[in-house]
Amino acid sequence: MAYDYDLFVIGAGSGGLAASKRAASYGAKVAIAEYDLVGGTCVIRGCVPKKLMVYASQFSHLYKDAEGYGWSPVESQFDWKYLVKAVDTEVRRLSQLHISFLEKAGVELIEGYAKFVDPHTLEVGDRKVTADKILIAVGGHATKPDIPGAEHLVTSREMFLLPEQPKRMAVWGGGYIGVEFACIMNGLGSEITQIIRRDLILRGFDDDLRSTIQESMANRGIQFRLNSTIDKVEKVDEGLKLILNGEEDEPLIVDAVLCATGRDPNLAELLLENAGVELKEKAIAVTLDSRTTQPHIFAVGDCTDRMNLTPVAIAEGRALADTEFGHKPHSITHENIATAVFSQPEAATVGMTEAEAREKFGDAVQCYRARFRSLFNSLAGGDERVLVKLIVESNTDRVLGAHMVGKDAAELIQGIAIAVNMGATKKDFDDTMGIHPTSGEEFVTLR
């Protein structure tokens, strides 16, 4: 049977863009459908705009730190509307850039939401197309719990376009999105209360990293309501009244509430049942090579809920294109993938946490850690601590994990991730000369 396209991609986010351009480079006829701005979560309402806001929020701390180095006090006013407009302008510029990349690659962009008619046929608006192979790369979306007053909650999607900066804000959720936005808004001058269901933020990360960040956030003025959740949101004259349930249940009055309690794959409108594509819980079930229950239909990125990171989606998309169109079959591993939390202070990690290592290797695990005040703070006057930590399996001396909290943690861990993935040992670290004076040298001087 002759098809309209060799590959049809649903979703122009990181994974879909990478797969479509790579497949087209091998001579495949490719089209990609997108109903929103091209670029996906990362470019439009995730990594990129969030990192720009992180940069903006850091200046308030730098102005104060500069006084310890002889600079006169800075009296500056922050303009929320200016930042929102500047970030949106940059996001739209990047979206247009991605469209131009598709054009140069020879990929046809079709505006609209694609839905399955049958395993090889899709409907986009009033148009029907057929494809030999189909890739689902639709990403995910922030969800809201079903509580009274949920309509008053905002998610990470709306945070970038709030018309006014809230003076008092609650952040509901202790994951990386909630932590990052709590730090951003705190740095921009809002009064922040973070409501978490447990006693520590960032479940799943190393406990030393979690406690170090939470302590620093508290020292920067962020309030925490621990082991608590929101039962109800009421609109009152003073703002929004939060009815809490848990360890700290005193009602809270704020101007806005960011709900960062979870995300789900964007599958509701795809009509996957028409294609015979099965789910695993709320995500698309896939094999290691990203194949669904239909052998010619694939899925990558957040809609598979494997590891929801932009570089992972890109790698999955390229591996698919290499395998199916470039005659270079391979898949990616989801082990030892470095990741960062752009909190203040920043954190980054690669490999196993201490708890994961001890569960697998028991008493053979040795941990090397250091907590110290950075040289920068010796004059700035801050008490914020840097954490560096290595997890080692003593029988082989192999480094199983590396964790850091502190300035430029993500930049440092990116390099260390290469060593961890190559199987570096603690002796390899010890035999490496440090660069003095830096925080990074602590990784090669831990004893």
Q: Residue 398 maps to which CATH number? A: 3.30.390.30
- What is the C-alpha separation between 36 and 59, in angstroms, rounded? 32
In a domain, 157, yes or no: yes
- What is the C-alpha separation between 316 and 320, in angstroms, rounded? 6
Whether 240 and 277 share a structural domain: no
Closest to 406 (Cα-Cα) out of 350, 347, 351: 347
Whether 76 and 114 share a structural domain: yes
- What's residue 274's pLDDT? 98
Whether 124 and 162 share a structural domain: no
Whether 49 and 97 share a structural domain: yes
H helix count then E strand count, the chain? 12, 24
In a domain, 426, yes or no: yes
pLDDT digits (tens, 9 = 90+) for 311-335: 999 999 999 999 999 999 999 999 9
Residue from 61, 141, 327, 436 carrying the catalytic annotation: 436
**Residues whose CB is less than 8 angstroms from the CB of residue 154 and which lie 6 or more positions away in sequence, other chains included:** 162, 256, 257, 258, 259
Whether 160 and 213 share a structural domain: yes
In a domain, 354, yes or no: yes
Residue 407 belongs to what domain range? Answer: 345-444
Question: Angle at which helices 47-66 and 80-105 pack, to 10 degrees?
Answer: 140
296 an active-site residue?
Answer: no
In a domain, 383, yes or no: yes
Q: Is the peptide bond before 345 cis (omega within 30 degrees of 0)?
A: yes
| Cβ proximity of 39 and 102 under 8 Å | no
pLDDT digits (tens, 9 = 90+) for 186-238: 999 999 999 999 999 999 999 999 999 999 999 999 999 999 999 999 999 99
- What's residue 249's pLDDT? 85
In a domain, 97, yes or no: yes
Whether 68 and 212 share a structural domain: no
- What's residue 139's pLDDT? 97
- What's residue 1's pLDDT? 77
In a domain, 330, yes or no: no
Residue-wise DSSP of 328-384 = -------SS--EEE--SS-EEEEE--HHHHHHHHGGGEEEEEEEEE-HHHHHH---P
Whether 30 and 78 share a structural domain: yes
Whether 388 and 415 share a structural domain: yes
The dihedral sign for the CA sequence 260, 266, 267, 268: positive
- What's residue 382's pLDDT? 86
Low-confidence ranges of the chain (pLDDT < 70): none
Distances (CA, A) of 103 to 31, 33, 42, 107, 147: 11, 14, 20, 6, 45
In a domain, 420, yes or no: yes
Q: Is 155 exposed, middle or buried (0-12, 13-18, 19+ CB in 10 A)?
A: middle
Q: Residue 303 maps to which CATH number? A: 3.50.50.60
Whether 101 and 200 share a structural domain: no
Whether 11 and 137 share a structural domain: yes
Domain boundary among 206, 237, 261: 261
